[in-house]
Structure 1
Amino acid sequence: MMSLIISVMLPLTLLCAAILLLHKPLLARLGAHNTYTLWVAVPLLLAGTVLGQLIPARQTNPSLYQLQHFRVQASEFLSQSHYATLNMTLGCIWLLGSLTLLGILLYQAIRLKQVVAQAQGLDLPKALLSFMQLAGSTPKASVGIKCHPQIDSPMLAGLLKPVILVPMDFKQLTQSQQASILDHELRHLARHDIAANLLGYLLVSLFWFNPVCWLAYRRFRDDQEIACDAEVTRHMDKQQRIAYSQTLLAYSQQAHLGMLHTHYGNKTILKERIMQLKKTHTKRPLAILGLALTLGLSGALINQSAVAGDKHQDKHHNEAKAPSPVMRVEPAYPAEAAEKRIEGYVQLQFEIDKQGNVSNVTIIKSYPGNMFDDEAMKALSQWRYESSKTGVTNAKVQLDFMMSAPKAEIERVRVTAG
C-alpha cells in the first residue's frame, strides 16, 4: 500500500500545485463553474495512475536465451532487519494518521446526526415557495429544512438524507434573501457536493502528510462555494446581487469546514466571493471535463513513462531479449555461508507462463555445490514477470551470492560461447 501511495505522490502533487499556482488566472479566464469542474482531474489522475500500476505491460517474447545476472549481497541481507523496522515504523505512522482523520470524520457524522435530530422543522410560507418557484429553485419534498440554535451559518448536511440547516434568525431575513440562501444550498444538492467533499477528504486522509493536498482540498471547497454563488446570481440584477452580498456578510462567521456539510459563511474568502458576484460566469462543462480528463490521463502516462524508464536502465540484462521481473523476492543468504564469508553463484533455468508466474525451476550449475541451491530455487519460484501472449520457455538466470558489492574499479567480464 505504501509503495502505491509513494508512486502516485509525485503526479498528484504536481497537478494540485499547478492548479493552486494558476488558480487566479484560471478563475479569471474560465469562470467559477469551470474552475470548480477542473478539480475532477485529481481523481482521474489517481485512477489512471493506480490502474497503470496494477495492469502490467504485456510481454511477447516467446523464449529467453541470454543469461541474466542478479546479485545477492550478504551485507544487504544482514541489514534487512533494520530497513524492515524502518519501513514498518513509517507504515504505522501513516496508518495512524489516516485512522485519526477517519475517526474525526466519524465523530463529525455522529455529531451532525445529533444536531439534525434536535433541529426544529421549518415550514416555508407559501409566498416564499411561489417566489422560489418563479426563480426555478423549488425545494424537493425529500429535502427537509430545519433550524438549530447552534447553527451560525446555513448549510446542507447529510449524504443519504440531505437536510438544509439554517440559523434561528433565518425568518428575520427578507423573502429575497431567504430564497437566495435556500437556492444556494439546493445547488449544492443538485451537484452532489456532499459526496464530492467526502471523496476529497478521503483522499486527503491517504495523503495527510503532504501539505499541498491540504491546500488543494481547502481551495476545492472554496471554489465550490464560489461556483454556487455564480449559479444563484446568474439571472440577478445589480440590486439583487447587492442584497445577496449583504446576506454573505450577515453569515460571514468562521464556519467549521465539515466533510458532511457545506459552509455557506466563510470570511476567509468573503472578499473573493463578493468580487466574483460582479462577473458573469459561463458554463462549458464538456470542454472543461475534456481538459480535466487530459490532465489526469497525461499525468498518469508521465508517471508510467518514468517507471518504464527506470526499468530500461537495468544494466544486468538486455531488454531487447529478456523479460523484466515485475516482482523479485531476494534469496536469503545462508547463515553458514555468511559466517564463513563464502561466496558463489547459482545458474537456474525456468519457464514463465502467460500470467507471468515462474514454474519448472531447475539448477544448471552452482558453486559451491548445494550451498546456495535451496535458497535460490525458493526465491526464484516466487518471482513474477510481465504477462505475455505465449509465455517464456528456457529462461535462464544467474544469482551471484556476494559478501559485498564489487569495487567500482574492478571490471567484470562475461564470457559466452560463440
Structure 2
Amino acid sequence: MINWFMEQTLSLSMVCLAILLLHRFLLSKLGAHYTYFMWISVPLFVFADLLQMILPQHFSWFGSSNGVSVIEQYYVLANDTVALSAGLLDQRYLPYLYAAVVALLVINIVMEYANLQRLINDAKPLEVSSSKLKVLVHSQIESPMLAGFFTPSILVPDSFMQLDDCQQQAIIQHEMYHYQRGDLWINILAYGLTVLFWFNPLMWLSYRRFRQDQELSCDAQVTADMKTQAKIAYSKTLLAYSQHAPLSMLHTPYGDKTILKERILQMKKQHGKSTLALIGMTLVIGMSAFMFNQQALAGDNLKAKTNTDAMAMPVIRIEPSYPIDAAKEGLNGYVQMIFDISPAGKVSNVRVMKSAPKKMFDASAVEALEQWQYQTSADGFKDVQVQLDYVIHQPEKSVERITVN
C-alpha cells in the first residue's frame, strides 16, 4: 500500500504541477470552462491505476513477464526477533501516522457539516420566485452559498435584501449553476482525494486552485449573455462579498478576495463552451491516464527481463520472529518457500519447499512472508522463491551461507 501511495504521489504531482504551471496560459487560451474541466485528469489518473490493478489482464497492452526463478535469501537474527531495521520501523509506524492525520481531517469536516446544518435549520425562508431551490437568510451568513447535499438550499446574508433585482438574480443563477453541475458532490470527491494524499503539498495547492476555477467557471456561465452594465453590477456584488469567503468543503462560497481581480478580468473574455468538446477532452485525458500507467508497467516489465532480482525484491519486509525454543538451544536453520504475488503486490499461496530443522522455523517464516508487500505489476508473479536463514549471530563474511538448490 505504501508503494502504491508513493507511485500515485509521483503521478499526481506531475499532473497537478503541469496544470498549475500552465494555468495562466490555459485560462487565457481556453477560458474558464475548459480550464476548470482540466482538473478531471487528477481523479482519472487515480481511477485508471486502480482499474489496472483490479483488472490487469484487460489492460496489459505492452506485455509482461510473470516468471521469477531467482531465489532471494534473507537473514533472521536471534537478537533482532522483535525489532526491524530503521527503514522498516519507519514503514511500520507510517500507517498509524497517516491514519491519525486522515482521522483529524475527517473529524474537521464532520464538525463543519454539523455547524452548517445548524445554520440551515436556524435560517429563515426568503421568497425568491426565480429560484427552484429554497432560499434561506441567516444573520451569521456573510456570503451567499449553496449548502446541503440531499436537500440543497441557497443561503444568503441579511445584506442580500439590499441588492437590486439584477444583482439578486445573478447570485441565484450562480448558485443554481453550482447545483445543476453537482459541485457539492464534486467538491467532496476532490477533498476526499486530497485527504488521501494529505502529505503531498501539491494536492492542497491544486485543491484550492480547483475550487477557484470552479467559481470562475460559474461566473463565465452567468455573465455569458450579460450586457456591460449588468456585468458591472455583478462585479460590484463580487466586491461586496469578497471579504467574507473562507474556503469550505461543504458549501460553495460566492466571494473569494484572493481571485477577485481574476474573476472581474475573466468576465471581459468570453470563450464559451461545447458539450462535444468536453466529451472529447474527457476521452483524451482518460486515454492519456491509461497510457501513462501502461508505460510505467512496461518499464517494470523491462526491468523484469533485464534484472529479475529487482522485480523479486519486497518493498515492505516484515521480520520473522526467532522461535524462543530454537534460540535457547542455539539452533540455526533455514526455510525455503514458494509463493505467488498478486498484481497489487500482495503475497498469497505460501508453501514450504524445504526447511531444516524440520518444522522448527516453518510457522514463523510463513506468518512473516504473508505480510510482505512487493511492488505492483501488470499480471503479478507465480512461484516466486525465497529462503530465510535463521542464525543466532550474524556470520562472518568468510563463512559460507546456507544455500539450497
After TM superposition, the score normalised by the length of structure 1 is 0.77
Matched, 1:197 2:190: no
Task: Evaluate the alpha carbon distance shift between residue 335 and residue 80 of structure 1 in structure 2; reply closer, same or farther with a 3 A threshold.
Answer: farther
The CA deviation string for residues 76-105 of structure 1, in whole angstroms up to 9 with x for no partner, is 755328666544543222222211111111
Matched, 1:358 2:362: no
Task: Evaluate the alpha carbon distance shift between residue 221 and residue 412 of structure 1 in structure 2; reply closer, same or farther with a 3 A threshold.
Answer: same
Matched, 1:91 2:124: no
Gaps of 5+ in 2: none
Range 286-295 or range 187-196, more displaced: 286-295
CA distance in 1, matches of 2:18, 2:305: 29
The letter for the 2-side match of 1:117 is N
The CA deviation string for residues 320-347 of structure 1, in whole angstroms up to 9 with x for no partner, is xxx9999987654445666787655445
Shift of 1:17: 1.6
The CA deviation string for residues 126-169 of structure 1, in whole angstroms up to 9 with x for no partner, is xxx5xxxxxxxx432xx101111111111111111111111212
Q: Where in structure 2 are the equivalents of 1:373-388 lying within 5 Å?
A: 375-376=364-365
CA RMSD in angstroms comes to 4.3
Q: State the secondary structure of the residue aligned to 2:224.
A: coil
Match in the other structure for 1:108: 112
CA distance in 1, matches of 2:228, 2:34: 23
Task: Evaluate the alpha carbon distance shift between residue 83 and residue 328 of structure 1 in structure 2; reply closer, same or farther with a 3 A threshold.
Answer: closer
Match in the other structure for 1:45: 45
CA distance in 2, matches of 1:248, 1:377: 64
Q: Where in structure 2 are the equivalents of 1:70-149 lying within 5 Å?
A: 70-74=73-77, 79-80=83-84, 86-124=90-128, 129=129, 138-140=130-132, 143-149=133-139
Verify the 8 A CA contact 1:363 1:373 in the aligned structure 2.
Answer: no
Q: Where in structure 2 are the equivalents of 1:4-83 lying within 5 Å?
A: 4-55=4-55, 66=69, 68-74=71-77, 79-80=83-84
Q: Where in structure 2 are the equivalents of 1:270-349 lying within 5 Å?
A: 270-283=260-273, 284-305=277-298, 308=301, 315-316=308-309, 331-335=320-324, 344-347=333-336
Shift of 1:220: 0.6
Q: State the secondary structure of the residue aligned to 2:270.
A: coil
Task: Evaluate the alpha carbon distance shift between residue 310 and residue 230 of structure 1 in structure 2; reply closer, same or farther with a 3 A threshold.
Answer: same
Verify the 8 A CA contact 1:70 1:316 in the aligned structure 2.
Answer: no
Task: Evaluate the alpha carbon distance shift between residue 5 and residue 378 of structure 1 in structure 2; reply closer, same or farther with a 3 A threshold.
Answer: closer
Task: Evaluate the alpha carbon distance shift between residue 73 and residue 31 of structure 1 in structure 2; reply closer, same or farther with a 3 A threshold.
Answer: same
Matched, 1:152 2:142: yes
After TM superposition, the score normalised by the length of structure 2 is 0.79
Match in the other structure for 2:252: 262
Shift of 1:279: 0.3
The letter for the 1-side match of 2:387 is L
CA distance in 2, matches of 1:351, 1:70: 17
Verify the 8 A CA contact 2:191 2:249 in the aligned structure 1.
Answer: yes
User: What is the percentage of aligned positions where both structures have the same residue?
Assistant: 37
Verify the 8 A CA contact 1:358 1:384 in the aligned structure 2.
Answer: no
Verify the 8 A CA contact 1:36 1:220 in the aligned structure 2.
Answer: yes
Task: Evaluate the alpha carbon distance shift between residue 396 and residue 213 of structure 1 in structure 2; reply closer, same or farther with a 3 A threshold.
Answer: closer
CA distance in 1, matches of 2:237, 2:326: 79
The letter for the 2-side match of 1:113 is Q
Task: Evaluate the alpha carbon distance shift between residue 92 and residue 162 of structure 1 in structure 2; reply closer, same or farther with a 3 A threshold.
Answer: same
Gaps of 5+ in 1: 130-137
Q: State the secondary structure of the residue aligned to 2:188.
A: helix
Verify the 8 A CA contact 1:197 1:260 in the aligned structure 2.
Answer: yes
Task: Evaluate the alpha carbon distance shift between residue 25 and residue 77 of structure 1 in structure 2; reply closer, same or farther with a 3 A threshold.
Answer: farther
Aligned pair partner of 1:250 in 240, 256, 259: 240
Aligned pair partner of 1:401 in 389, 395, 398: 389
Matched, 1:171 2:161: yes
